[in-house]
Amino acid sequence: MGLCPLHADRKPSFLVDPGKSLFYCYGCGRGGDVIRFAEIYHDVKFPQALALLRQWRGLAPLLQEVAGFYRVQLHRHAEAVAYLRQRGVRSPELIEHMRIGYAPGGSCLRAWLMQSGYPLSALRQAGLVTALGYDAYMHRIVFPLEGNLYGRSISAAAPPHRFLPGPKGGLYVWEQARRYPEVILVEGLLDYAVLWQAGFNNVTCALGTHLNARQFQQLCDGPRTVYLSFDADANGSGPQASQRLAHRLEAHGIPARRIVLPVGHDPNSFFVQGGDAGQFQSLLEAAQP
Ligand SMILES: [Zn+2]
């Protein structure tokens, strides 16, 4: 019960029922749900009220809507499914688990979201639509992250990795991975995908070899052994990065082991080119500090 924001109120007459998400004012007699409140308070019609509420709730509901739209597109575009197959992603459970989608490009996302009441300015601000009004993600496999959206190009002509402006967030599905006493850390989501599909559910992904402060803290948030499985690049950048990270983890009391893949491989290519769970398990057991 409080002062009514909708009329000049002297003693509290505005009642909110948080359980039912409803309000009622004994002074001015108005009541309804949060959308009704926004309509009266801002003197706007239903669609504008909805758009305002969405803006206030931040990026999360918008990204959820985007992920949902892209998931529907995945099964409508043969090129996307073919790309996933080629990268070893086959199981429907995995596609469901990672909520994998596809961004066809053009302006289909923009059209869909504007029809749902999102203003163009909000879509531009989120980085989903370019200055020219096109969808920012084109011909990309899309993976929802916490507070961001990773897009992997299916065409070699475009830069392979893309994120929305803003932080990439913490470790991928950390809440699930952190329960295990041994955690496998990989660079890319397609590495994560093939390992999860092969039955390694204790895997997480940093989206690159450089961990941000939050990701590093997460790895150190409990007693566990971390197995690093970065790309075995011929130029040595992956192995160097994993060596540095292993030292940092050890310095924080977290035992780290480095998985040595055949040169030129990452976990994804290892499985795509015939490696199986048993072989990866052997690499895991042979991993060195
Ligand atoms: Zn009132």
Residue pLDDT, tens place only, 167-195? 888 999 999 999 999 999 999 999 999 99
The mean pLDDT of 132-143, rounded to a whole number, is 97
Contacts (Cβ under 8 Å, ≥6 apart) of 255? 225, 226, 249, 289
Beta bridge partners of 225: 182
User: How many angstroms does the Cα of residue 3 sit away from the middle of ligand 1?
Assistant: 8
Instruction: Give the environment of ion ligand 1: residues with CB less than 5 A.
Output: 4, 6-7, 25, 27-28
- What percentage of the chain reaches a pLDDT higher than 70? 99
| Structure-model confidence comparison of residues 23 and 56, the more confident one | 23
The mean pLDDT of 141-156, rounded to a whole number, is 94
Beta bridge partners of 135: 129
pTM to 2 decimals?
Answer: 0.81
User: How many angstroms does the Cα of residue 38 sit away from the middle of ligand 1?
Assistant: 14
Is residue 159 pLDDT above 80, yes or no?
yes
Is residue 57 pLDDT above 80, yes or no?
no
* Average per-residue pLDDT for the chain: 93
> How far is residue 131 from each of residues 55, 62, 127, measured CA to CA in Å?
20, 19, 9
Contacts (Cβ under 8 Å, ≥6 apart) of 152? 140, 141, 142, 143, 160, 161, 162, 189, 190
User: How many angstroms does the Cα of residue 33 sit away from the middle of ligand 1?
Assistant: 14
Go through the chain and tell me how many residues it has.
289
User: Residue 163's pLDDT band (boundaries 50, 70, 90)?
Assistant: very high
The mean pLDDT of 145-152, rounded to a whole number, is 92
User: Residue 220's pLDDT band (boundaries 50, 70, 90)?
Assistant: very high
Nearest to 230 by CA among 216, 219, 240, 215: 240
User: Residue 273's pLDDT band (boundaries 50, 70, 90)?
Assistant: very high
Q: Provide long-range contacts, Cβ within 8 A and 24+ apart, for 114-117.
A: 116/65, 117/47, 117/50, 117/51, 117/54
Q: Decide: 232 and 261 in contact? Cβ < 8 Å.
A: yes
